Amino acid sequence: MYSDKVMDHFANPRNVGEIPDANGVAQVGNAKCGDIMKMYLKVEDNIIKDIKFKTFGCAGAISTSSIATEMIKGKTLEEAEKLTNKAVIEALDGLPDEKIHCSVLAEQAIKAAIDDYRKKNNQ
Amino acid sequence: MERRYFDYAATTPVDPGVLEEMLPYFKDSFGNPSSIYSYGREAKKAVEEARSKIANLIGADSKEIFFTAGGSEADNWAIKGIAMKLKDKGNHIITSKIEHHAVLHVCQYLEKHGFEVTYLPVDENGFINLKDLKNSITNKTILISIMFANNEIGTIQPVKEIGEIAKEHNIYFHTDAVQALGNTKINVNDMNIDLMSMSSHKIYGPKGVGALYIKKGVKIDPFIHGGAQERRKRAGTENVPGIVGFGKAAEIASNSLEEHIKRTVKLRDKLITGILENIDYVRLNGDPIKRLPGNVNVSIEFVEGEALLLNLDMIGVSASSGSACTSGSLDPSHVLLAIGLPHEIAHGSLRLTIGRYTKEKDIDYVIEELPKIVDKLRAMSPLYEKVKGGDK
Amino acid sequence: MERRYFDYAATTPVDPGVLEEMLPYFKDSFGNPSSIYSYGREAKKAVEEARSKIANLIGADSKEIFFTAGGSEADNWAIKGIAMKLKDKGNHIITSKIEHHAVLHVCQYLEKHGFEVTYLPVDENGFINLKDLKNSITNKTILISIMFANNEIGTIQPVKEIGEIAKEHNIYFHTDAVQALGNTKINVNDMNIDLMSMSSHKIYGPKGVGALYIKKGVKIDPFIHGGAQERRKRAGTENVPGIVGFGKAAEIASNSLEEHIKRTVKLRDKLITGILENIDYVRLNGDPIKRLPGNVNVSIEFVEGEALLLNLDMIGVSASSGSACTSGSLDPSHVLLAIGLPHEIAHGSLRLTIGRYTKEKDIDYVIEELPKIVDKLRAMSPLYEKVKGGDK
Ligand SMILES: Cc1ncc(COP(=O)(O)O)c(C=O)c1O
Ligand SMILES: Cc1ncc(COP(=O)(O)O)c(C=O)c1O
Ligand code: FES
Ligand code: FES
């Protein structure tokens, strides 16, 4: 049901963890629905220098978090904000229909973390 | 990679002895049992022998066994068949909140068509309350349908007592015994059961066959109308190899019931203890004593069930979960919610069910490996952080 | 004694290639297709492959195929499912007098529950009249259910034309194609079929499995409620080996359809000619041209069908009859009565149906032996005396 790419990111998620001195942090989702995603950003000169995530959820949620962090690491905030769940799904070689909603979470978490950074830096 | 199957409640492999008995009925004795020539008579005889083996397993008479395509059809038939037959007498059905969907969705469907249904709540171990049951009976009640044993948490209901209450009030009692069959002693007469659903593939028989026990004298509409098979109660050319296989599976189950229960309970309890001792923030769901011999169901906090299952699958262990993420629906298992688990804990549920071919070393393996998987998943869980930080 | 099977319309032996494909799914790949671990995924894949083979045989899309436990369930589902879904739109159903009991008895049941049913008559060859069909349509008509080919007399209806009429009037068209499948070219789109019943054991697949074709967009209630299998339309753990076998049988049928028809028609016509030429007072029932490739149905005057069958069985020939005496009911076949046969002639009906493993020498054998049996029975028939005496 999951693509090899999904299973790879699920089994060996990239960028898992926390950034102690993150300057943009956000958590989306809620445990009631079974998925929570937390993103940590380290932004320097408008560029995402480092990114880490933690996710409570299914393989769809974990793999989308993982690949999304890979996709925006090193990108400018503007570029990162343009990341859509569609692009994430494509990068994973697809997701089962009933898992599309998990991919939305990654997009939301990144946007929320960028917002948090901007708020903290009065942008 | 060695495969370790921990999902006997979902389905079981066919016992080799069962398959062997089935084989002749595909190509050689393939006749239609309704025919009068010798090919047909052979098939007919085989079907009748299977019927008596199933009757024997549950203390019924052969004539009270009607073959179906499985447990779901048996549940649908029992409930819709009684509802349609007795609708002029009453339109009220009593069931529980933790029934299998094959009962619940039928009841919900009937609600759309003029029936009223009481869904009895259960306590934290999954038992219905007999007083609740009595209080919910009205003069419109035509059927009580309470499952024998639950497929998720393994809790075994006080069936005999429910049967007595039904009998006192002259109401038909149906029980879904799909999980109980072959796993606990059943006697339909002692237990005052009027209708009982069974399924072959849960007792090492083939998929696609089951049966409904209908006590002599019970009035019920057919569900599949057509030919005169199954004494005009269930139409369709008989699935002869399937029925023969189900019969053999029932025979094996009858002959080894006590031994099977003893052996399985021992393994189960070892697994439960191993998990509870080696993992923090974990709870056992279902009653510790009155539970199916092969059922282990735990909630592991801060992790999500599907992620657990896939990690187990990667090391060859097949299991099951009540997480919403595995069902494709938005809510976690209705059974886990009914016993009072909060959504987030229900999501972290894991069901490991064991059976005839489970070895002690498989149990040891899970006890050893599961904690590692849980650690790995908790390490990436934003929920677990807080606990570790002490601010839970 | 060599056995000669002449009852392919009742059921067929499983093709050896079919059984071979099924075997791994009993013991090794026995997983539940709804599970997410690898055991389950293997099973799921096998089910989906089978689905597309069946779709392929009838020109449908895979997503339009829903597995059932056989032809009877498919008929019940199609008719009850549409009736329940559309009952607020209308309560009128049109069918024919020569349908299989799995259609007729469902219609009769619905009549008891507020539906109205028109049973179209047929002509002496077994065809419905298209004008009758049009005339019987009312603004309450929600379903036309006319069988593709008749199981007793083999007559193939003008399905495409029926489909066009249904389409013009925006009424769903269901056809019971249990006998037609694998025996005549079917394209559900060209023929405007909305729902179609199929059964595996009539096409050299296993018993206990079938399918309902439901055209995309058709609104229908589920029949077996419960789990989310079959895209939430038909609950119950999938009969994986059965489905795999049905798929393989469909694949074989697709690949050899033309050749099968040619070969079978030749044998059939030889048998018909042989019987008509060698026995007096015999008539062919059903249309001589538009009939199933394997169907021979004759009425042999002054003899009774069950006696015929038993005599044939004694020499190793398995056949079937529309005689009341074989059915356990008081009336002979409703199909034979519907084509206008008097009771006494219907009693003497004999159906010989041939198929994949019928050899030319089997045909020769029946042509040789049947007249002797008929002679023997007529010699003891009080009805025949008169004819011989010339006073008929
Ligand atoms: C025309 C027709 N419809 C329906 C059925 C029922 O199919 P099944 O026996 O698979 O339920 C049969 C055969 O018995 C048949 O010949
Ligand atoms: C309690 C219970 N009832 C009914 C069913 C349905 O049985 P089947 O899959 O044979 O239709 C199952 C298993 O799936 C079950 O566990
Ligand atoms: S987190 Fe529940 S479906 Fe993905
Ligand atoms: S003559 Fe005996 S049943 Fe017809």
A1 touches chain C (CB under 8 A): yes
Q: Exposed (0-12), middle (13-18) or buried (19+): which is C139, by Cβ within 10 Å?
A: exposed
Cα B379 to Cα A18, A37, A55, A56, B321, distances in angstroms = 10, 13, 9, 10, 20
- Final residue of a structural domain among B205, B224, B253: B253
CA distance C225 to chain A (A): 21
**Half-sphere exposure at residue B206, Cβ-oriented, CA atoms within 13 angstroms:** 35
Mutate to test the interface with C, among B108, B225, B232, B326 (most CBs of C within 10 A): B225
Q: What is the CATH number of the domain that holds B262?
A: 3.90.1150.10
Residues C236 and C293 in one domain: no
Q: Give percent of chain B above pLDDT 70.
A: 97
User: Chains A, C: CB contacts under 8 A, how many?
Assistant: 3
Residues B84 and B233 in one domain: yes
pLDDT in the model for residue C327: 65
Helix axes B240-278, B360-379, angle to 10 degrees: 60
For the sheet with C92-96, list strands across it.
Answer: C65-68, C210-214, C195-199, C172-176, C141-145, C92-96, C116-120
Residues C88 and C215 in one domain: yes
- Final residue of a structural domain among C221, C253, C285: C253
Which residues of C contribute to the annotated binding site for [2Fe-2S] cluster?
Answer: 325
Provide the number of structural domains found in chain A: 1
Supply A83's token pair.
């990341």
Residues B339 and B239 in one domain: no
Cα C146 to Cα C101, C128, C189, distances in angstroms = 12, 9, 16
Residues C210 and C264 in one domain: no
Contact (Cβ atoms closer than 8 angstroms) between residue C199 and residue C246: no
The model's pLDDT over B158-173, given as tens digits with 9 standing for 90+, comes to 999 999 999 999 999 9
* Amino acid in the structure at residue C169: H
Separation CA C321–CA C310 (nearest Å): 11
- Final residue of a structural domain among B253, B277, B306: B253
Indicate the average pLDDT of chain B.
Answer: 95
Provide the number of structural domains found in chain C: 2
Separation CA A56–CA B287 (nearest Å): 28
By annotation, the residues of B acting in catalysis are 325
Residues B229 and B354 in one domain: no
Ligand nearest to the CA of C327: 4
* Amino acid in the structure at residue A34: G
The model's pLDDT over A25-55, given as tens digits with 9 standing for 90+, comes to 999 998 777 789 999 999 999 999 999 999 9
**Half-sphere exposure at residue C169, Cβ-oriented, CA atoms within 13 angstroms:** 21
pLDDT band at B392 (very low <50, low <70, confident <90, very high): very low
Looking up tokens 């079981």 gives B12
Q: Tell me which chain B residues have a C-beta less than 8 angstroms from the C-beta of C241.
A: 206-208
What's the domain range around B353?
4-10+257-391
Gap from CA of C159 to ligand 1 centroid (Å): 18
Separation CA C211–CA B254 (nearest Å): 34
Residues C150 and C109 in one domain: yes
| Cα Rg, chain B, nearest whole Å | 22
Ligand nearest to the CA of B227: 1
Residues C222 and C324 in one domain: no
Query: Scanning every residue of chain B, which has its alpha carbon at the shortest distance from the alpha carbon of A27?
Result: B382
Residues B34 and B181 in one domain: yes
Residues B223 and B265 in one domain: no
Q: What is the CATH number of the domain that holds C241?
A: 3.40.640.10
Choice between B86 and B344, residue whose per-residue pLDDT is larger = B86
Blockwise average pLDDT, block size 10, chain C, 392 residues: 93 98 95 87 95 98 98 98 97 98 98 97 98 98 98 98 98 98 98 98 98 98 95 96 98 98 98 97 97 98 94 95 74 94 94 97 98 96 76 45
Rounded to the nearest angstrom, the gap between the alpha carbon of residue A47 and the centroid of all alpha carbons in its chain is 16
Residues C128 and C243 in one domain: yes
Closest CA to B267 of B204, B369, B354: B354
What's the domain range around A74?
4-121
pLDDT in the model for residue C389: 62
pLDDT in the model for residue C182: 98
Cα C134 to Cα A120, B276, B337, C144, C338, distances in angstroms = 75, 71, 54, 11, 20
Q: What is the CATH number of the domain that holds A9?
A: 3.90.1010.10
> Measured at the alpha carbon of residue B37, what is the angle toward residues B31 and B41, in degrees to the nearest 5?
60
Residues C205 and C168 in one domain: yes
What does the H/E/C string look like for chain C? CCCEECECCCCCCCCHHHHHHHCHHHHCCCCCCCCCCHHHHHHHHHHHHHHHHHHHHHCCCHHHEEEECCHHHHHHHHHHHHHHHHCCCCCEEEEECCCCHHHHHHHHHHHHCCCEEEEECCCCCCCCCHHHHHHHCCCCEEEEECCCECCCCCEECCHHHHHHHHHHCCCEEEEECCCCCCCCCCCCCCCCCCEEEEEHHHCCCCCCCEEEEECCCCCCCCCCCCCCHHHHCCCCCCCHHHHHHHHHHHHHHHHHHHHHHHHHHHHHHHHHHHHHHHCCCEEECCCCCCECCCEEEEEECCCCHHHHHHHHHHCCEECECCCHHHHCCCCCCHHHHHCCCCHHHHCCEEEEECCCCCCHHHHHHHHHHHHHHHHHHHHCCHHHHHHHHCCC
Gap from CA of A60 to ligand 3 centroid (Å): 6
C198 touches chain B (CB under 8 A): no
Cα C319 to Cα C268, C348, C355, distances in angstroms = 14, 13, 13
Q: Which of residues 53-82 of C touch B (CB under 8 A)?
A: 68-73, 75-76
